[in-house]
C-alpha cells in the first residue's frame, strides 16, 4: 500500500508533462464508469491511535484485511476543471461499527455518493491529478442506514477520446452512528455516453477575386480599358469623351464637333454674321461685310459718293467713279467753254472773266479741291509758239483765280500747245473749240 501512495505522489508531480491536443470545449461529456475498490477500515482505525509516519512505516494493513467491492460511477463536466460525480458502490462484508461492535456476519453494503472532482488540468492532458469531496449515504443489510463525507483525490489517465482510467483514494468521514471511518482504494474505467459534439465552423467565405489593375484610376480595369493610362468613362470603353476638332471641348458638349470653337459658343467658332472673314467679336460692323484693316467694317466712303476712300482721290468731295471720286467743275455749274481769250493773246474775254469769278467762288466753297489748269491752242502757227501761248493762257487763268483769293498752291497751270485737239482745226468752229482751257480736279 505504501508503494501505491508513493506512485500517486510521483505521478502527480510528473503529470504536467503530458497533454493531448484538443480543440473546442474541454468539459467532460456525460460519462459512465465501472470501478473496483478495496475498503480499508484497519488503516483508518490505526490512524486514530498512531501518527501517520508510524502507520506508513510499520503498521499499514495488508490486502487480506481489506474488503473488495465494485460500483458504477457517473461523471459530467461542469467546467473544464470541475466534474460532477455520482457513484453507486456495493460489497459484502462484516461491518465494524465505530463503537467496536460488528455486524452479525457478512452483509450487503450499498453506498451512494454525490460530489465534485476538482482537477488540476483539463481533460486534454494524458494524466490529470484531482481532489474529490462530496456526501454519501449507506445501507447495510437493509437495516442500518448512515451518512458520510468522502474526501480524497486521484489520478485520471486519458486513454482515448473521452475515455479514462481512474486511480482514486477516498477517506470516508463518518457523520452518523451507523457509519465508520474507512479508506476506499479504487481503480475504474469510464467512457462517454454521448458522442462529442462537433463544432461546426461556418464555411470560410470564398477568396476575393483577384483585383485587376486600374492604372488610370477611372474605375475601369485595364483589361477592359481601351485607354488604360488616361482616365475615361465606360461609355467610351475607358477612354475620355472624344474631342474630334481638338478645341478642348468634348464632343458631347460641342455643338460643332468637327470645327474648332470656344466654350463661349459651345464649341462652335466665333460667328461671322456678315461672312467677311472677321468674327463678330472682332468685327465692329458684324452685319456688314468689311475688311480687317477697318476692323470688319467696309472701306469708308467719307463723302458718300459711292467711291470708297481708298479709291477716292477726293475722299471729302463727292465725285463720280469715272473721275476717281473727284467732282468735275461742271458739276458746280462751271462752264469751262466760256473761258476764252482774244485771238493770238493770253487776254481773257469778259465772258471768261465772269466765268472765272464763278470758279473762284466754287473753289472758296470747296477748299479741298485742287485744280489742274491746262491751256491749249489751235494749230495756226508754229508748235513751240503755240505751246508758249497755251502756257501763258493757263498762267493767266491761274493768276486771275489767285487774284480772286484762291491759294496758288491749289492751282497747277500747264500749257500743252496744239496737242489734244477736241475740234477740227480745218474749220473755224473747230479751231475755236481747240483754243481752250480745261479745268480738272487734281487727283
Tell me: the pLDDT tens digits for 134-143? 999 999 999 9
Which pairs with CB-CB distance under 8 Å and at least 24 residues apart come from 202-208? none
Q: How far apart are CA 77 and CA 31, in angstroms?
A: 9
Q: Is residue 56 part of a domain?
A: yes
Establish if 321 belongs to a structural domain. no
Q: Are strands 82-93 and 107-119 parallel, antiparallel or unpaired?
A: antiparallel
In this structure, are residues 422 and 434 in contact, taking their beta carbons and an 8 Å threshold? yes
For range 362-377, the mean pLDDT: 90
Dist. CA 398–CA 341, nearest whole Å: 14
Q: Classify residue 216: in a domain, yes or no.
A: no
Q: What secondary structure letter does DSSP report for 331?
A: G
At 176, list the grid cell.
452518523
Which of residues 175, 192, 209 is at a domain's end? 192
CA–CA gap between residue 204 and residue 309 (Å, rounded): 94
- Per-residue pLDDT band at 12 (split at 50, 70, 90): very low
Give CA separation, 58 vs 46, 55, 157, 215, 407, in Å.
Answer: 11, 6, 31, 91, 173
Number of H helices, E strands in the chain: 6, 11
The reply to whether 129 falls in a domain is yes
pLDDT confidence band for 43 (50 / 70 / 90): confident
Q: Could you give the number of structural domains in the chain?
A: 2
Domain-embedded: residue 186: yes
Percent of the chain with pLDDT over 90: 41
Angle at 418 between CA 412 and CA 419, to 5 degrees: 70
Judged against a pLDDT cut of 70, whether residue 6 lies above it is answered with no
What pLDDT shows up at residue 19?
54
3-class DSSP state of 233: coil
Which range of residues forms the domain containing residue 388? 333-441
d(CA 262, CA 137): 107
DSSP code of 263? G
Which grid cell is 114? Answer: 454525490
Asked whether residue 68 is domain-assigned, the answer is: yes
Measured distance CA(242)–CA(366) in Å, rounded: 66
Residue with the larger pLDDT of the pair 327 and 227: 227
Q: Count of CB atoms within 10 A of residue 438's CB?
A: 18
DSSP state of 234: G
Q: What are phi and psi of 68, to 5 degrees?
A: -80, 160
Minimal CA–CA distance to 83: which of 124, 132, 126?
Answer: 132
Q: Which residues contact 220 (CB under 8 A, 6 or more apart)?
A: 214, 232, 233, 234, 237, 238
Burial of 428 (0-12, 13-18, 19+ CB in 10 A): exposed
What is the band of 113 on the pLDDT scale with cuts at 50, 70, 90?
very high
Q: What band does 152 get if pLDDT is binned at 50, 70 and 90?
A: very high
Q: What is the dihedral of CA 252, 255, 259, 260, to 10 degrees?
A: -80
Q: Residue 354 maps to which CATH number?
A: 3.30.1330.60
Domain presence at residue 352: yes
Higher pLDDT, 357 or 272: 357
**C-alpha cell of 131?**
481532489
User: Which residues are CB-neighbours of 347 under 8 A, at least 6 positions away?
Assistant: 341, 396
Between residues 109 and 306, the one the model is more confident about: 109
Question: SS3 of 365, please?
Answer: helix
Quick count: other Cβ atoms within 10 Å of Cβ 290? 20
Answer yes or no: are the C-beta atoms of 398 and 408 closer than 8 Å: yes
Percent of the chain as helix, strand, coil, to the nearest 5 = 25, 25, 50
pLDDT greater than 80 at residue 68: yes
pLDDT value of residue 1: 47
Q: Is residue 358 one of the residues assigned to a domain? A: yes
109 touches 69 (CB < 8 A): yes
CATH number, domain of 169, equals 2.40.160.20
Dist. CA 7–CA 216, nearest whole Å = 76
Given this model, what pLDDT does residue 410 score? 92
What per-residue confidence (pLDDT) applies to 111? 96
201 Cα distance to chain centroid: 38
Domain finish residue from 152, 174, 192? 192
- Final residue belonging to a domain, choices 173, 192, 211: 192
Amino acid at each position: 500500500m505504501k508503494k501505491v501512495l508513493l506512485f500517486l505522489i510521483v505521478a502527480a508531480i510528473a503529470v504536467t508533462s503530458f497533454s493531448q491536443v484538443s480543440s473546442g470545449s474541454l468539459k467532460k461529456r456525460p460519462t459512465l464508469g465501472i470501478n473496483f475498490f478495496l475498503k480499508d477500515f484497519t488503516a483508518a482505525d490505526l490512524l486514530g491511535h498512531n501518527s501517520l509516519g508510524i502507520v506508513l512505516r510499520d503498521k499499514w494493513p495488508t490486502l487480506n484485511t481489506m474488503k473488495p467491492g465494485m460500483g458504477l460511477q457517473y461523471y459530467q463536466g461542469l467546467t473544464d476543471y470541475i466534474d460532477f460525480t455520482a457513484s453507486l458502490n456495493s460489497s459484502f462484508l462484516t461491518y465494524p461499527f465505530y463503537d467496536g461492535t460488528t455486524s452479525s456476519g457478512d452483509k450487503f453494503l450499498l453506498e451512494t455518493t454525490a460530489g465534485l472532482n476538482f482537477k488540476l488540468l483539463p481533460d486534454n492532458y494524458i494524466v490529470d491529478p484531482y481532489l474529490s469531496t462530496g456526501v454519501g449515504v449507506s445501507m447495510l443489510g437493509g437495516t442500518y442506514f448512515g451518512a458520510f463525507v468522502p474526501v480524497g483525490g486521484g489520478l485520471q489517465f486519458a486513454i482515448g477520446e473521452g475515455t479514462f482510467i481512474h486511480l482514486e483514494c477516498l477517506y470516508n468521514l463518518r457523520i452518523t452512528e451507523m457509519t465508520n471511518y474507512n479508506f476506499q482504494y479504487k481503480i475504474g474505467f469510464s467512457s462517454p455516453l454521448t458522442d462529442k459534439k462537433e463544432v461546426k465552423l461556418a464555411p470560410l467565405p470564398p477568396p476575393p477575386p483577384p483585383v485587376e489593375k486600374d492604372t488610370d484610376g477611372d474605375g475601369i480595369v485595364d483589361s477592359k480599358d481601351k485607354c488604360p493610362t488616361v482616365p475615361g468613362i465606360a461609355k467610351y470603353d475607358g477612354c475620355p469623351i472624344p474631342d474630334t476638332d481638338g478645341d478642348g471641348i468634348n464632343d458631347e458638349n460641342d455643338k460643332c464637333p468637327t470645327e474648332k470653337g470656344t466654350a463661349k459658343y459651345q464649341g462652335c467658332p466665333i460667328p461671322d454674321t456678315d461672312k467677311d472673314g472677321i468674327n463678330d467679336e472682332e468685327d465692329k460692323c458684324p452685319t456688314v461685310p468689311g475688311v480687317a484693316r477697318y476692323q470688319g467694317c467696309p472701306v469708308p466712303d467719307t463723302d458718300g459718293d459711292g467711291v470708297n476712300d481708298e479709291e477716292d482721290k477726293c475722299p471729302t468731295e463727292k465725285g463720280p467713279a469715272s473721275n476717281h471720286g473727284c467732282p468735275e467743275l461742271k458739276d458746280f455749274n462751271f462752264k469751262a467753254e466760256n473761258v476764252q481769250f482774244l485771238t493770238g493773246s493770253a487776254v481773257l474775254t469778259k465772258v471768261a472773266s465772269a466765268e472765272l469769278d464763278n470758279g473762284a467762288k466754287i473753289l472758296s466753297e470747296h477748299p479741298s479741291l485742287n485744280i489742274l489748269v491746262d491751256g491749249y491752242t489751235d494749230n495756226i502757227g508754229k508748235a513751240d509758239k503755240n505751246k508758249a501761248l497755251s502756257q501763258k493762257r493757263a498762267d493767266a487763268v491761274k493768276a486771275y483765280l489767285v487774284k480772286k483769293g484762291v491759294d496758288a498752291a491749289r492751282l497747277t497751270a500747264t500749257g500743252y500747245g496744239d496737242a489734244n485737239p477736241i475740234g477740227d482745226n480745218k474749220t473755224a468752229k473747230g479751231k475755236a473749240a481747240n483754243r481752250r482751257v480745261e479745268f480738272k480736279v487734281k487727283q
